[in-house]
Amino acid sequence: MATRIKQLVGHIAPPIDMATPELWQEVPLAPPDSIFKLTAAYKADTYPKKVNLGVGAYRDDDSKPWVLPVVKKATEKLLRNEALDHEYLPILGLPEYTAAAAKLILGSDSPALSESRAVSAQTISGTGANHLGALFLTKFYRFNGAKKVYLSNPTWANHHAIFRNVGIEPVDYPYYNPDTISLDLTGLIGSLQEAPPRSVFLLHACAHNPTGVDPTEEEWDTIANVMLEKNHYAFFDCAYQGFASGDLDKDAWAVRHFVQKGVPLLVCQSFAKNAGLYGERVGALHIVSPDKDTADRVRSQLSVLQRSEISNPPSHGARLVELILNDPEMFAEWKQDIKTMSGRIISMRKELHRLLTQVHNTPGNWDHILNQIGMFSFTGLNAEQSKAMIERAHVYMTGNGRISMAGLNSHNIEYFAESLDKVVRGTL
Ligand SMILES: Cc1ncc(COP(=O)(O)O)c(C=O)c1O
């Protein structure tokens, strides 16, 4: 009997061998996230003229986070609604939100919507949409033997990790030409042509992070044609709709054009930047299928994946965005707020270009500062110069020469231009 109990107990809780370390004691220390590390270093810096150009969040002219007036209005309206409770949302999210979000990115006249071919899931912001999309690929995308997902080189730092987390080792495709500080269209088209048929290409729908370099409409069309020829799949990441041009429809052009042309695709959408809802984690994944029947099956499988990942998404941010998108007055006001943010960024681009070219006569061509789009700009500074900007000028930027234009304002832009000029001349 004693032996029997020992056997059972032993089975339930095997004795720990004190000589061997517990599993977690062998976990290696991971390096800190580079952007969060940069922010911590900026915060610890006591230099009065320090500038933070690392973080990808909008700041107003006083370097402060900006709560959009329309978001304040929507919040007040929500608070007054006594019918609201804290029940779970459906697995794929708040239906009024996902339907409006799909219209916003695909266009209200989209054939994918009128033919009921688009399936939408509310996600944990854009990151969650990327994750759910990547997970979906691992389960249901026929990779044709070679599992290939292509990411632009460079890309948002988190893309590689998101795909690796679900067991996909992504491959880079050329995107940016450092010599011309512009799009490497030849390299990109070459990659599309060389990739095995039915590969997945992750494309930034607008305001490419980190380069700020987007294809023109003509270039997008060329890309779409090669993707159709090769039966590739477009994995659109759209984290900045409205932020690039100030116009929500214009920034959705590439996605809508691909849908019109029949390129198979999915879209990851985020309301972090364009609604200033960073911490609310409001996003969506939209998968466009060839027909309604496929879409229904896709929806059923997305529900299964979502259920095991997060069960159901959070409600507050989705309710705010749903109010803004579905109320014509608030929608109009939101568009104005977007113009305020994108307009300030565009004015910073113009001013920086003016200071470099007309005040300092900084060596080199600085037209890319004007031509690039969205929150980020690739200055063209190399790793050594970027490091010098942090260490000697207290200007915090990433090692690849990327700056967030939203970190510039009327108080710090002259100091930044002066520091940039010095680092280029080697006198910093
Ligand atoms: C290209 C890109 N995709 C996705 C995201 C995800 O943002 P979030 O999860 O905050 O919506 C970001 C954020 O910086 C981004 O730059």
pLDDT, tens digit, 9 for 90 and up, residues 161-191: 999 999 999 999 999 998 888 999 999 999 9
The preferred substitution site among 125, 153, 270 for testing ligand 1, maximizing ligand atoms within 8 Å of CB, is 270
pLDDT, tens digit, 9 for 90 and up, residues 291-330: 999 999 999 999 999 999 999 999 999 999 999 999 999 9
Alpha-carbon distance 139 to 181, whole Å?
38
Read off the tokens for 299. Answer: 């929806």
Whether ligand 1 lies within 6 angstroms of the CB of 237 is answered as yes
Alpha-carbon distance 310 to 410, whole Å?
43
pLDDT, tens digit, 9 for 90 and up, residues 323-366: 999 999 999 999 999 999 999 999 999 999 999 999 999 999 99
Atom 8 of ligand 1, residue of closest alpha carbon: 126
Q: Which CATH architecture has domain 88-326?
A: 3-Layer(aba) Sandwich (3.40)
Q: What is the pLDDT at residue 56?
A: 86
Atom 11 of ligand 1, residue of closest alpha carbon: 126
How many alpha carbons fall within 13 Å on the CB side of residue 26? 4
- Is residue 273 part of the annotated active site? The answer reads yes
Whether ligand 1 lies within 6 angstroms of the CB of 208 is answered as no
**% pLDDT > 70, the chain:** 94
CA angle, 122 then 123 then 127, to 5°? 150
If you measure from the C-alpha of residue 247 to the centroid of ligand 1, how many angstroms do you get, rounded to a whole number?
19
Q: Which of 148, 220, 273, 337 is catalytic?
A: 273
pLDDT, tens digit, 9 for 90 and up, residues 218-255: 999 999 999 999 999 999 999 999 989 999 999 999 99
Element containing residue 118 per DSSP (H, E): strand 118-124
pLDDT, tens digit, 9 for 90 and up, residues 42-85: 999 999 999 999 988 999 999 999 999 999 999 999 999 999 99
Give span(s): CATH 3.90.1150.10, the chain: 34-66+343-425
- Where b means 16+ CB within 10 Å and e means fewer, 123-152 reads bbbbbbbbbbbbbbbeeebebeeebbbbbb
Give span(s): CATH 3.40.640.10, the chain: 88-326
Answer whether 275's CB lies under 8 Å from 324's CB.
Answer: yes
- Is residue 156 part of the annotated active site? The answer reads yes
Q: What is the pLDDT at residue 109?
A: 97
155 CA closest ligand 1 atom index: 1
CATH superfamily, domain at 34-66+343-425: Aspartate Aminotransferase, domain 1 (3.90.1150.10)
- Is residue 37 part of the annotated active site? The answer reads no
Q: What is the pLDDT at residue 11?
A: 53
Whether ligand 1 lies within 6 angstroms of the CB of 56 is answered as yes
